């Protein structure tokens, strides 16, 4: 939201959320929107003459496994409602977030290609594969301009973990700064594709600002950096030498083991000029630089 409001003016960007009290979001307009209720979505789009939608609502991997039915309702019914409401309201362009969770255990573990078989073993992954197909159908059937990226694990110094298998890569920074130790729920050597939030924003805005073209892919692979919990802990220790990390895998390890350790995103680089800025070292330094003063001043996880 802050990135969009900086580009377009805060009065021109509506935050749709179910969270109450409404988050500040730089004091721009915020409205209650439930993606599982199409009429409510349509009303907000029409009444505010919305021309562009960024549809991000989803239950992600670990949360989705605890309640698969709710995950389907939010992720799939929600997407269809947003697409139908957007079509009826005359929305010009839609962004929808897919995920590297579309891949399953049969995908290559190293540099999973754009056209790898998509056989996920989580409800989250299932909904993202089905969502890519649905978006492609709406493009072919109705000519709707829908842009889609397969996000890897996203690391932010502002947004808190949301119940995903890659959450350790955010939690570890809070625990390292506040406690000097962290118990990771994945094995030390578990490789997963990741991305720092500034690169995520850059990729999202870049693909949305491209002139309309026939999409080469319903969901573009996106990659920036691959690392394991052990490698991230070692990088943090370069800044916090006393930091220690232990590894006690839980049910999320099975989910992580079903995903590729790295992603091949050459199509995104070729088709719309994608290139990441942050590697492991740059991301770690920036996370600590931003989080340390906030947490040391008592801001805590809720800041």
Catalytic residues: 124
Instruction: Give the whole-angstrom CA distance, residue 177 versus residue 82.
Output: 40
Contact between residue 99 and residue 125 where contact means Cβ atoms under 8 Å apart = yes
Q: What is the CA radius of gyration of the chain?
A: 19
Q: What is the rounded distance in angstroms from the CA atom of residue 27 to the CA atom of residue 113?
A: 41
Q: What backbone phi and psi angles, to 5 degrees, belong to 93? A: -150, 145
- The closest alpha carbon to 52, from 145, 150, 149, 148, belongs to 145
Task: Give the 3-state DSSP-derived string for 12-69, with helices as H, strands as E and coil as C.
Answer: HCCEEECCCCCCCHHHCCEEECCCCCHHHHHHHHHHCCCCEEEECCCCCHHHHHHCHH
Residues pairing with 195 in the sheet? 154
Under 8 Å between Cβ of 264 and 221: yes
Q: Give helix then strand counts, H and E, for the chain.
A: 12, 11
Q: In the numeric block, which tokens belong to residue 174?
A: 């809070």
**What b/e readout covers 10-20, taking b as 16+ CB neighbours within 10 angstroms?**
beebbbbbeee
Q: Is the distance from CB of 255 to CB of 65 less than 8 angstroms?
A: yes
End-to-end CA gap in the chain: 17
């Amino acid at each position: 939201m802050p990135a969009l409001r900086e580009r377009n003016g805060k009065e021109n960007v509506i935050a749709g959320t179910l969270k109450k009290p409404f988050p500040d979001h730089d004091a721009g307009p915020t409205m209650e929107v439930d993606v599982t209720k199409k009429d409510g979505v349509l009303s907000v789009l029409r009444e505010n003459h919305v021309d562009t939608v960024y549809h991000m609502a989803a239950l992600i991997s670990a949360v989705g496994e605890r309640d698969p039915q709710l995950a389907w309702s939010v992720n799939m019914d929600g997407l269809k409602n947003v697409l139908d409401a957007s079509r009826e309201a005359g929305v010009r362009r839609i962004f929808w977030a897919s995920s590297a969770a579309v891949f399953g255990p049969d995908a290559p573990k190293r540099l999973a290609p754009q056209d790898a078989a998509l056989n996920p073993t989580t409800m989250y992954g299932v909904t993202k594969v089905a969502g890519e197909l649905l978006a492609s159908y709406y493009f072919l059937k109705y000519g709707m301009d829908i842009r889609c990226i397969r996000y890897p694990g996203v690391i932010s110094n502002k947004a808190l973990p949301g119940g995903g298998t890659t959450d350790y890569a955010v939690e570890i920074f809070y625990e390292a700064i506040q406690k000097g130790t962290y118990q990771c729920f994945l094995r030390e050597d578990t490789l997963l594709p990741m991305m720092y939030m500034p690169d995520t924003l850059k990729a999202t805005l870049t693909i949305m600002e491209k002139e309309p073209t026939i999409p080469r892919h319903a969901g573009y692979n996106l990659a920036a950096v691959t690392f394991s919990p052990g490698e991230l802990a070692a990088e943090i220790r370069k800044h916090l030498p006393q930091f220690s990390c232990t590894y006690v895998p839980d049910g999320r390890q099975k989910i992580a083991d079903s995903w590729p350790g790295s992603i091949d995103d050459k199509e995104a680089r070729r088709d719309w000029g994608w290139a990441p800025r942050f590697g492991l070292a740059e991301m770690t330094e920036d996370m600590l630089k931003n989080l340390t003063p906030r947490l040391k001043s008592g801001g805590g996880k809720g800041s």
